[in-house]
């Protein structure tokens, strides 16, 4: 019996830019959803208009030309800024927002998302880039009552963070000891979640990825 169009399952397409050093961790995550086709803009051209969702992952600091603020001391910025990546990610954010696609933003990705929506950054902070914070869930959080995902401690290591929130972003979690923003969501939008921590590095965040992947499936239908 021939297969009708209604019986053919089309794979959702996920746009992202993932560093080589992070590829292994994300492969483990993506292996649980082989039905999702991942397009890594670092290694191939991504047809954005065919994508069903956007994943913004960790990376180096944002290039000053994209920031909505002065940089009084350029020495605090990473030396390995990737301008090509920044150009692609800011374009990808605008494309995804214009189409209402699900967005998950991680670490640098959260900062890109915030700046794309008109926000600014704390360009250099202390106490959030310690070695044991990179892979261990040791950063205590204070969660908003209506947070979509709640974690008591996270593996958050970074030297920049959100300062002024971008338009329509709502904070869902803060670092308990100093109030640095660790999780946001975009109000009145189907699904756009940004986290300062690294959910790809620990199985305790599986529910977050499952939520995001489910939205990709819905977007494809």
Query: Is 198 designated active site?
Result: yes
Q: Are 166 and 200 in contact (CB under 8 A)?
A: no
**Around 43, how many Cα atoms within 13 Å sit in the side-chain half-sphere?**
8
Residue from 107, 128, 172, 182 carrying the catalytic annotation: 107
Residue from 89, 172, 182, 200 carrying the catalytic annotation: 200
Run of H or E residues at 140: strand 139-143
Helix 108-116 and helix 83-99: axis angle, to 10°? 60
Q: Which residues contact 32 (CB under 8 A, 6 or more apart)?
A: 209
Query: Is 107 designated active site?
Result: yes
Residue 101, both tokens: 């696609």
- How many CB atoms are closer than 10 A to CB 178? 11
SS3 content of the chain, % helix, strand, coil (to 5): 35, 20, 45
Residues marked as catalytic: 107, 198, 200
């Amino acid at each position: 019996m021939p297969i009708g169009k209604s019986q053919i399952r089309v794979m959702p397409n996920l746009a992202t830019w993932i560093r080589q050093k992070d590829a292994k961790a994300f492969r483990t995550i993506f292996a649980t959803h082989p039905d999702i086709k991942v397009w890594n803009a670092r290694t191939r051209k991504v047809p954005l208009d065919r994508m069903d969702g956007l994943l913004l992952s960790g990376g180096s600091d944002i290039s000053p030309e994209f920031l909505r603020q002065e940089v009084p001391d350029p020495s605090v910025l990473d030396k390995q800024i990737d301008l090509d990546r920044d150009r692609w990610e800011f374009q990808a954010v605008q494309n995804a927002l214009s189409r209402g696609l699900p967005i998950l933003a991680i670490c640098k990705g959260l900062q890109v998302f915030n700046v794309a929506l008109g926000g600014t950054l704390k360009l250099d902070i202390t106490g959030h880039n310690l070695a044991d914070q990179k892979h261990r869930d040791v950063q205590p959080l204070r969660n908003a009552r209506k947070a979509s995902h709640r974690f008591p401690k996270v593996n958050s290591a970074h030297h920049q963070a959100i300062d002024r929130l971008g338009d329509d972003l709502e904070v869902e979690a803060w670092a308990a000891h100093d109030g640095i923003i660790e999780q946001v969501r975009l109000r009145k939008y189907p699904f756009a979640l940004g986290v300062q921590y690294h959910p790809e590095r620990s199985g305790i965040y599986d529910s977050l990825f499952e939520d995001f992947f489910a939205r990709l499936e819905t977007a494809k239908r």
